[in-house]
């Protein structure tokens, strides 16, 4: 994670420059941009041109973001389709979705081609490692179309989820600015540039992030398939049957979390170390060997971004409003705006 820190910091800086110029913040747009920039710059040494002034950005990023969002929404909606409706809808949507899939693939292909042409494929970032590391048994490189699909997986799995988490955190910070004031007083003391070790020590922000993940898990659940017949809560789950673990409900269960389970109270995570045997269910990253591979990446980037933003801005809203969520590829807040006033002027 240390090697990604610098690239993440450049995105936090670009965000602050943008907010200094215009305090009326479109949270959805800026968090989409920030999370895609972070994966692009940290994982693939490729500024995406969504934040900051980057001439080196690939062409067509805006269309890439729009096409990727349509593909993810379509994939998510089609998992709920009824037997007859599903194939019909798929048939109507097919040409548009195929065009979008081809567009996002072509966009990533151009990033890879550029790396191969300019000789920087040797870079030790994620993309460089995938392009140059040989299979220890066969000596083969990963086929390029496989590398492209891995890059797309990271871009897709990594940006919507993280943007959703940041949006929930910004909502709570802006609707109750005392939360941010306390974090600044206790942990940030006017720091603008946070180094790697400082980010790791921001325990109040980590608690805030956990509380956001508990009440609003961006991936609201995950599937598991029974390998053998199992009894679960008095029900027989036969071998081969899929079960959806709904973290969203289990993480709000008053029987485990107490009578204030539905309230946003980040302090509950300050002195609690949850383990697998704790009565409280907390699995926003999934569980076991297939749990989220980007977990540490997401924790570091969100802690850094929130820390950087809070040390420079006091966040508020013009008028109180309820957070509304919509279920797409992730459980993500509806777009909303906040006001970011530089702390010196707040
Ligand atoms: C707040 C941010 C994130 C949340 C809440 C989240 C959540 C999850 C969850 C619940 C799963 C399924 C785990 C399971 O089935 O047990 C998952 C899988 C995955 N996530 Fe994340 N994720 C986040 C960020 C990221 C980032 C930043 C990346 C990449 C940079 C990423 C890459 C992946 C990948 C590749 C998988 C599939 C892993 C596998 O099947 O082995 N995620 N994530």
Only one residue has tokens 């593909």, namely 71
55 falls in which pLDDT band (50, 70, 90)?
A: confident
Distance 299 CA to ligand 1 centre (A): 12
Q: How far is the CA of 285 from the centre of ligand 1 (A)?
A: 6
Please name which of 162, 173, 100 lies closest in space to residue 323, comparing C-alpha atoms: 173
The string of pLDDT tens digits covering residues 33-45 is: 999 999 989 888 8
Q: Does residue 161 surpass a pLDDT of 90?
A: yes
Question: Average of pLDDT values for 286-290?
Answer: 89
Which listed CATH number (3.30.460.40, 3.90.550.10, 1.20.1740.10, 1.10.630.10) goes with 2-342?
1.10.630.10
Rg, C-alpha atoms of the chain: 21
What does the pLDDT read at residue 190? 67
Query: Bigger pLDDT: 268 or 79?
Result: 268
Q: Whose CA is nearest to atom 20 of ligand 1?
A: 292
Who contacts 63 (Cβ-Cβ below 8 Å, separation ≥6)? 103
Averaged confidence pLDDT in the chain: 90
Q: Which of 317, 314, 301 is nearest to 342 (CA)?
A: 314
How many A from CA of 157 to the centre of ligand 1? 6
Which residue(s) pair with 222 in the sheet? 245
Domain-wise residue ranges, the chain: 2-342
Q: Which pLDDT tens digit goes with each residue over 138-149?
A: 999 999 999 999
Give pLDDT, residue 173: 98
pLDDT of 94 higher than 80: no
Q: pLDDT over 90 for what percent of the chain? A: 61
- More confident of the two residues 60 and 161: 161
Q: pLDDT tens for residues 185-223?
A: 999 876 678 889 999 999 999 999 999 999 999 999 999
Give the residue whose CA is nearest to atom 21 of ligand 1: 292
Which of these, 9, 331, 1, lies nearest to 193 by C-alpha position? 9
Strand order in the sheet with 313-316: 24-26, 337-342, 313-316
- 81 has a pLDDT exceeding 80: no
Mean pLDDT of 122-148: 88
Q: What is the pLDDT of residue 278?
A: 83
Residue 318: helix, strand or coil by DSSP? coil
pLDDT in tens, 291-329: 999 999 999 999 999 999 999 999 999 999 999 999 877
List 316's β-bridge partners, or say none: 339
| Model confidence at 115: pLDDT above 90 | no
Task: Report how far ligand 1's centroid is from the alpha carbon of 120 (Å).
Answer: 28
Residue 122: per-residue pLDDT = 61
Which of 292, 297, 300, 329 has most ligand 1 atoms within 8 Å of its beta carbon, as the pocket-test mutant?
A: 292
Q: What crossing angle do the helices spanning 144-175 and 27-38 adopt, rounded to 10°?
A: 140
Could you tell me the pTM of the whole model?
0.92
Residues 152 and 110: beta-carbon distance below 8 Å = no
Residue 120 pLDDT > 70? no
Q: Which candidate, 126, 123, 163, places its Cα nearest to that of 42?
A: 126
Q: For the residues 54-78, what does the mean pLDDT come to? A: 82
52 pLDDT above the threshold of 70: yes
User: Does residue 57 surpass a pLDDT of 80?
Assistant: no
The answer to whether the beta carbons of residues 204 and 182 sit under 8 Å apart is: yes
| Paired tokens of 335 | 């777009």
- The candidate with the shortest Cα–Cα distance to 68, out of 36, 37, 92, 43, is 36
Q: Where are the alpha helices (DSSP H) in the chain?
A: 2-21, 27-38, 44, 61-78, 85-117, 126-132, 144-175, 177-183, 196-200, 203-215, 247-250, 254-257, 295-312
Tell me the average pLDDT across 25-51. 91
CB neighbours of residue 344 within 10 Å: 8
286 CA → ligand 1 middle, Å? 8
User: Which is higher by pLDDT, 122 or 169?
Assistant: 169
Average pLDDT over residues 17-38: 95
pLDDT at residue number 318: 95
97-111, 229-243, 269-283: which has the minimum mean pLDDT? 269-283
Ligand 1 pocket: which residues have CB below 6 Å? Answer: 39, 153-154, 157-158, 161-162, 165, 218-219, 222, 284-287, 290-294, 297-298
What is the C-alpha to C-alpha distance for residues 107 and 156, in angstroms, rounded to an integer? Answer: 13
Of the two residues 120 and 175, the one the predictor is more confident about is: 175
Return the residue whose CA atom lies nearest to atom 17 of ligand 1.
292
Both structure tokens of 330: 């992730």
Residue 208: predicted pLDDT: 97
* Across 8-35, average pLDDT: 95
Range 237-262 average pLDDT: 94
Model pLDDT, residue 121: 58
């Amino acid at each position: 994670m240390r090697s990604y820190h610098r690239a993440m910091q450049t995105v936090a800086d670009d965000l602050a420059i943008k907010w200094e110029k215009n305090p009326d913040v479109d949270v959805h747009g800026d968090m989409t941009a920030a999370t895609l920039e972070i994966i692009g710059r940290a994982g693939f040494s490729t500024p995406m041109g969504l934040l900051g002034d980057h001439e080196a950005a690939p062409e067509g990023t805006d269309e890439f973001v729009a096409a990727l969002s349509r593909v993810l929404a379509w994939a998510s909606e089609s998992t709920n389709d009824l037997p007859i409706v599903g194939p019909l809808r798929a048939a109507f949507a097919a040409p548009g979705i195929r065009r979008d899939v081809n567009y996002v693939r072509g966009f990533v292909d151009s990033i890879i081609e550029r790396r191969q042409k300019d000789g920087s494929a040797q870079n030790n970032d994620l993309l460089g490692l995938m392009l140059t590391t040989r299979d220890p048994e066969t000596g083969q490189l990963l086929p390029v179309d496989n590398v492209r699909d891995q890059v797309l997986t990271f871009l897709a799995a990594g940006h919507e989820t993280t943007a959703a988490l940041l949006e929930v955190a910004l909502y709570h910070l802006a609707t109750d600015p005392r939360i941010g004031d306390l974090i600044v007083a206790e942990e940030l003391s006017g720091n603008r540039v946070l180094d790697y070790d400082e980010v790791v020590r921001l325990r109040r922000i980590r608690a805030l992030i956990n509380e956001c993940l508990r009440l609003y898990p961006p991936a609201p659940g995950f599937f598991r398939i029974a390998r053998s017949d199992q009894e679960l809560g008095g029900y027989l789950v036969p071998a081969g049957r899929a079960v959806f673990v709904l973290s969203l409900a289990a993480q709000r269960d008053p029987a485990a979390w107490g009578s204030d389970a539905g309230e946003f109270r980040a302090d509950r995570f300050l002195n609690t170390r949850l383990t697998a045997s704790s009565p409280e269910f907390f699995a926003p990253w999934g569980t076991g060997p297939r749990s989220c591979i980007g977990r540490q990446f997401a924790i570091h980037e969100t802690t850094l971004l929130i820390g950087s933003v809070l040390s420079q801005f006091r966040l508020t809203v013009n008028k109180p409003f309820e957070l509304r969520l919509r279920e797409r590829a992730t459980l993500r807040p509806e777009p909303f705006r906040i006001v970011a006033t530089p702390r010196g002027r707040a």
